[in-house]
């Protein structure tokens, strides 16, 4: 009995310091700019959460809130299952210096009863466990994980660059991956193309990669295309995707991708490697200020000036580093977070262990995106690259 009285006094004390508001008033404040935080656990939010709410479990609130909202004067409304955990959460925020706080009376139950908008839960029990460390990031959360699950990406090449990119895109939960590669696994690939295995020498790279990705994350859909990307199929292969990752090892493919992504309005994440050095950038035709691949390479260099790995050799870990840069940029684009490598060329020297960043501006005379640029057709691009090679 005394315990019951103590609890009532404790709740009464909390309510004297933290405002409790009805669900419809909380929704009105959210629409007016307040941050609504759902402090229930991941498995609770799997059945649905208020539309636009930030999912931040009570146990991680103090650790993560400053990343999500550093402004102590922001209007914050906290919601839980029934209205008690949210009072505790609001009190914790108050101790941290946040000043405009309220708790939703009745919690999620009251929100549902009021018929307020609910976002379907992004995570079932498997996904909540699988992506738990990623979802903890306020910049990701349940909503971001749902965007990754809905994302459609094309990775051209399952070689040195594509292999690490594919592994981490699959691990991150990118839901739909199209993989284009017409080559077969060779033993000389294995020191850098870590998605393959010795037992698969002679197998299609696309199929070998699909097997590895399915074992890593059976939740995602991988569509292997055992074809070479050419003038007559480039648009069909990349259309209806959100991001294209260039893991090609030849200039003909890159020039085709550059033209097709620009025409279709799809971001292209570029990387290239040679011996001990590499570089990466993002070309996003959706942005007026973004350069394109041909701002960097107006015309293809000769084969002597740009030898491939089979001719020049490559340090095995090098494409791994650049491939992970590509995967990172792809995830950032889908989530809409951070600063993408648009207008910047990131270079890496493995021997010096040095990254450098160069400004890459749009060239008004660029044959790909300049004022007088004229698309002459994909076949002509193939011929241009063949003449240079």
| pTM > 0.85: yes or no | no
Catalytic pick from 80, 292, 295, 309?
A: 309
- 309 part of the active site: yes
**The listed CATH number (3.60.15.10, 3.40.50.880, 3.40.50.720, 3.40.50.1000) that belongs to domain 151-388:** 3.40.50.720
Q: What is the pLDDT of residue 1?
A: 44
Q: What is the pLDDT of residue 262?
A: 95
| Mean pLDDT to the nearest integer, 340-354 | 97
pLDDT band at 13 (very low <50, low <70, confident <90, very high): confident
Fold adopted by 2-121: Oxidized Rhodanese; domain 1 (3.40.250)
Q: If you average pLDDT over every residue of the chain, what do you get? A: 91
Q: Where do the CATH 3.40.250.10 domains begin and end in the chain?
A: 2-121
Q: What is the pLDDT of residue 132?
A: 86
Assess whether pLDDT exceeds 80 at residue 22: yes
Assess whether pLDDT exceeds 80 at residue 345: yes
HEC string of the chain? CHHHHHHHHHHHHHHHHCEEECHHHHHHHHHCCCEEEECCCHHHHCCCEECCCEECCHHHHHHHHHHHCCCCCCCEEEECCCCCHHHHHHHHHHHCCCCCEEEECCHHHHHHHCCCCEECCCCCHHHHHHCHHHHCCCCCHHHHHHHHHHCEEEEECCCCCHHHHHHHHHHHCCCEEEEECCCECCHHHCCCCCCCCHHHCCCEHHHHHHHHHHHHCCCCEEEEECCCCCCCCHHHHHCCCCEEEECCCCHHHHHHHHHHHHHHCCCEEEEEEEECEEEEEEECCCCCCCCCHHHHCCCCCCCCCCCCHHHHCECCHHHHHHHHHHHHHHHHHHHCCCCCCECEEEEEECCCCEEEEEECCCCCCCCCCCCCCCCCCHHHHHHHHHHHC
Q: What is the pLDDT of residue 163?
A: 97
pLDDT tens-digit readout, 261-320? 999 999 999 999 999 999 999 999 999 999 999 999 998 887 666 666 666 789 999 999
Q: What is the pLDDT of residue 339?
A: 96
Q: What is the pLDDT of residue 142?
A: 81
pLDDT tens-digit readout, 53-81? 988 889 889 988 998 899 999 999 999 99
Q: What is the pLDDT of residue 303?
A: 64
Q: What is the pLDDT of residue 129?
A: 86
Q: Where do the CATH 3.40.50.720 domains begin and end in the chain?
A: 151-388
Q: Which of 38-52, 83-97, 104-118, 268-282 has the lowest mean pLDDT?
A: 38-52
Q: What is the pLDDT of residue 146?
A: 87
Q: What is the pLDDT of residue 2?
A: 55
Determine the Cα–Cα distance for residues 329 and 313; give it in Å rounded to an integer: 26
């Amino acid at each position: 009995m005394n315990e019951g009285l103590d609890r009532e006094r404790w709740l009464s004390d909390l309510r004297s310091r933290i405002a409790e508001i009805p669900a419809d008033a909380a929704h009105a404040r959210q629409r007016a700019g307040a941050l609504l935080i759902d402090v229930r656990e991941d498995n609770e939010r799997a059945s649905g959460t208020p539309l636009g709410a930030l999912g931040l479990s009570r146990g991680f609130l103090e650790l993560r809130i400053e990343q999500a909202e550093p402004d102590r004067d922001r209007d914050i409304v906290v919601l839980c299952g029934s209205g008690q955990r949210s009072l505790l959460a609001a009190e914790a925020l108050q101790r941290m210096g946040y000043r405009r706080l309220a708790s939703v009376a009745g919690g999620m139950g009251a929100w549902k009863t009021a018929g307020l908008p609910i976002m379907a839960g992004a995570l079932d029990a498997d996904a909540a466990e699988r992506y738990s460390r990623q979802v903890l990031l306020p910049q990701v959360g349940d909503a971001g994980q749902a965007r990754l699950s809905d994302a459609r990406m094309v990775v051209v090449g399952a070689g040195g660059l594509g292999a690490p990119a594919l592994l981490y895109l699959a691990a991150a939960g990118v839901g739909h991956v199209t993989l284009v590669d017409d080559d077969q696994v060779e033993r000389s690939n294995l020191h850098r193309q870590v998605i393959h295995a010795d037992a698969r020498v002679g197998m299609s790279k696309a199929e070998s990669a699909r097997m590895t990705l399915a074992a890593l994350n059976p939740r995602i859909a991988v569509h292997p295309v055992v074809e070479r990307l050419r003038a007559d199929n480039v648009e069909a292969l990349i259309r209806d995707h959100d991001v294209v990752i260039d893991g090609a090892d030849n200039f003909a493919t890159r020039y085709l991708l550059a033209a097709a992504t620009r025409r279709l309005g799809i971001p292209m994440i570029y990387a290239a490697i040679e011996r001990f050095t590499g570089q990466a950038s993002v070309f996003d035709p959706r942005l007026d200020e973004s350069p394109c691949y041909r701002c960097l390479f107006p015309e293809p260099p000769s084969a002597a000036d740009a030898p491939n790995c089979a001719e020049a050799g490559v340090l095995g870990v090098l494409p791994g580093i650049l491939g992970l840069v590509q995967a990172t940029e792809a995830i950032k684009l889908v989530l809409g977070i951070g600063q993408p490598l648009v207008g910047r060329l990131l270079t890496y020297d493995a021997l010096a262990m040095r990254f450098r960043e160069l400004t890459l501006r749009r060239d008004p005379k660029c044959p790909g995106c300049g004022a007088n640029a004229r698309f002459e057709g994909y076949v002509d691009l193939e011929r241009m690259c063949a003449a240079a090679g």
